[in-house]
Chains A and B, each alone.
Chain A
Amino acid sequence: DIQMTQSPSSLSASVGDRVTITCRASQSISTYLNWFQQRPGKAPKLLIYSASDLQNGIPSRFSGSGSGTDFTLTISSLQPEDFATYYCQQSDSTPWTFGQGTTVEIK
C-alpha cells in the first residue's frame, strides 16, 4: 500500500495568514493526489483533485501543487471557515490511502 505522510499534524494560524500543508507519498503517484477539508461532524469535502485542479465551488484561495511524491496545499489568506482538518489522499492505486490529517486551529 502507498503510505501518505502529511506535515505538520497541526498548526495555529490567524485569519489572513498564508498556510501551507505538505504531503509526501511513499512512491510516485504522478498527480493522482487529492485534498479534502473536514469540519467536525461533517463529511469530507473535496477541495483539489489531480494535485492542482480546483473542485467546482471551492474558493480560489485554495491551491495545490506537486507531482511524483511531494505535494502542497496552500491557503493564500485564511478565513474563519477554513479552520478544519485537511487530508491528502492518493488515488493512483487501490487501496486509496489518506494522510493522517492536518488540523488548522485559530491562533
Chain B
Amino acid sequence: QVQLVQSGAEVKKPGASVKVSCKASGYTFSSYYIHWVRQAPGQGLEWMGLINPSGGSTNYAQKFQGRVTMTRDTSTSTVYMEMTRVTFEDTAMYFCARGQGLGARLPAGYWGQGTLVIVSS
C-alpha cells in the first residue's frame, strides 16, 4: 500500500535551517510528483512547492523561492524539504503529499502524517 512516512518533530531557533524527510513506499517512486503543504497552528493549508522525483525538477511558490529547497534520493525513495533562515512564522505542521501522477494538475491523493516544526528562541 502507498505510504509516505515523514521524519519527526523539530525545534529550531530563529535563523536556523530545518530539513524534513518524506519516505515513500508501495509504489514506483519516480512516477508521481511529491508536493509540500504546510499548516500553521489553527490556520489553513498553504502549498509550498513540488518536486518531480524523475529528474528532480522543482516548482516553488514564490513566497518560498530562495529559502526552500526540495530534493530527492531515488536510492531510498525519499524526498527532502529544507528551509533556511526560519522565523517564528514558520512554526507549522509540514505535510508531504503524492500527486496522482506526473503532472501539476493531478491532485494529491496520499499524504504523509505531518512533521511539526516549532521555531522558538
Which A residues fall within an 8 A CB radius of B? 32, 34, 36, 38, 43-46, 49-50, 55, 87, 89, 91-101
Contacts and interface: CB of A to CB of B under 8 A. Distances in A.
Interface residues of B, number: 25
B120 interface: no
A46 to B, nearest CB: 5
Nearest to B62: A95
Q: By DSSP majority rule, is chain A's interface helix, strand, loop, or mixed?
A: loop
B47 A98 contact: yes
Given A43-B111, A44-B111, A49-B107, A95 B47 contact: yes
Contacts, number: 58
Interface of B: 35, 37, 44-47, 49-50, 59, 61-63, 95, 97, 100, 104-109, 111-114
26 contacts: A34-B107, A38-B45, A43-B95, A43-B97, A43-B111, A43-B113, A44-B37, A44-B45, A46-B108, A49-B109, A50-B107, A55-B109, A87-B44, A91-B104, A91-B105, A91-B106, A92-B105, A94-B47, A95-B47, A95-B61, A96-B35, A96-B104, A98-B45, A99-B44, A101-B44, A101-B45
Contacts of A45: 111
